[in-house]
Amino acid sequence: MPKKELASDIIQRDALDICQKTNLNYLKGKTILVTGASGLLGTYFLASLKKYADLNKCAIKIIAVVYNQLPGHLNIYKKDKRFSFLRGDLTNHNFLAKLPKADIIIHSAGYAQPGRFLDDKIRTLKINTLATFFLLEKLKKNGRFLFVSTSELYSGANDPPFKESDIGSTGPDHPRACYIESKRCGEAVSLGYREKGYDIKIARLALAYGPGTRKNDQRVLNSLIQKAMENKKINLMDQGEAVRTYCYIADVIETLWKILLFGREAVYNVGGTSKIKIYDLAKKIGEILNVPVIKPHKDLSLAGAPKEVELDLSRIEKEFKKKKFIRLDRGLQNTICWQKKNIFHQN
C-alpha cells in the first residue's frame, strides 16, 4: 500500500481492529462523555466509537470535551450528528457544572507529557481531583466511569514489573508530585464512589504511543521523531540508559474498553511488552528516518524521571486473554508515517 494512503488510513484501520477485538454492544443507545477528546487517547476513543456506530448503524451520542482547538485529523467528526464537542476548562467550576449527564464517562484529560504537566501544577492537580469529583456527579444511575491514571504512581518503588498491589515511595515534594499525587487522589476519589455502588474502573497507563498526537508533544518518543524530522539528527538529553516499555495506542484502547465494559477488578495496569532503552529507541527511529543519534556531554533531562518503567500485566492477560501486542517496529512505522503526513506534511 502506498505511504500516502497508509498515512490517511492508519487510525481508521486501527479503529476497525479495535472493534473486531472488542464487544462494544453495550454502547448502543448510550450517551458517552469523553474528556481529553483531542488527545492521543481521545483520538482513538472517538475513532473506535464512530467505527462501531457506522458498522452497526446504531443510535449513540458522543460528547467530546476538549480544551484546545480541534486538530485537523478530528475535523471529520464535526459533520457527524452523533458527535458534539464542548470546548472548555475542566478546572473551571462553571464549565464543569454545565456538563451534561452521561451513561458512560471516560476521564482521560490531562497532559501525560512531563514538560506540560509541570508547566502548570495547579491545573494538573485540579484536572485529576476537582474535575473527577464533578464528573462522577454527572454519571447517570447505573452508569460506568473510567478514570485514566498513570504508572507514575509506582515512582520510587523497586523491582519492576510493578503489580496493581504495589505502591510508590515518592512524597508531595517530589519534582513530579503534582501529577503523581493528583492521580493518586483521583484514584481515591473514584474508589470512594465505587464503595457507594458506582461502577468505577481505574487504568494505570504506561507509555502509550501512536498516531493522533500534536506537534511539539513532549513525550520522549514523539520528541525523538520531531527532532529527526526537523533537525535531521536526534540529540539526546542524556545517555539514554533509562528503560521504557511502550504500548501501541490500538492495544491501549482495546484494553481500556474491555476494562470499562467487562472488568471485574477496580484497578488495572495497562501497558505493553516493548521494553527498550531510550538510546535504542532513538536508534530505531534514526534508522527509519535515516538520521544520526547524538549523546550529550552533560545530562539535560527533567528531574524526577523514573529509571525504568515496566508493569506487570498479569491481570489483563488473565482476565481479557490479552497475549498479543503490536510490535514496536510496526507501531513506530505507523506513528512516523502518520506524523509525516499529518504534522510535518512530508511525503
What cell does 137 get? 456527579
Cβ neighbors of 252 (< 8 A, separation 6 or more) are 41, 44, 205, 208, 270, 272
Nearest to 312 by CA among 271, 274, 275: 271
Task: Quick: pLDDT tens for 108-165.
Answer: 998 766 666 677 899 999 999 999 999 999 999 999 999 999 999 999 898 899 999 9
Amino acid at 125: L
- Looking at every residue in the chain, the average pLDDT score rounds to 92
Per-residue pLDDT band for 297 (boundaries 50, 70, 90) equals confident
- pTM of the predicted model, to two decimals? 0.94
Cβ neighbors of 288 (< 8 A, separation 6 or more) are 332, 333, 336
Cβ neighbors of 287 (< 8 A, separation 6 or more) are none
Where do the domains of the chain lie, and which CATH numbers do they carry?
A: 3-208+247-274+307-326 (3.40.50.720)
Nearest to 117 by CA among 53, 32, 179: 179
In this prediction, residue 5 carries a pLDDT of: 44
Rounded-to-integer distance, Cα 176 and Cα 180, Å: 6
The proportion of the chain whose per-residue pLDDT surpasses 70, expressed as a percent, equals 94
Task: Quick: pLDDT tens for 171-190.
Answer: 898 888 999 999 999 999 99
Rounded-to-integer distance, Cα 276 and Cα 286, Å: 15
Nearest to 314 by CA among 265, 250, 253: 265
Peptide linkage before 100 cis (omega within 30 of 0): no
Rounded-to-integer distance, Cα 47 and Cα 59, Å: 16
In this prediction, residue 99 carries a pLDDT of: 98
In this prediction, residue 237 carries a pLDDT of: 87
Rounded-to-integer distance, Cα 72 and Cα 28, Å: 28
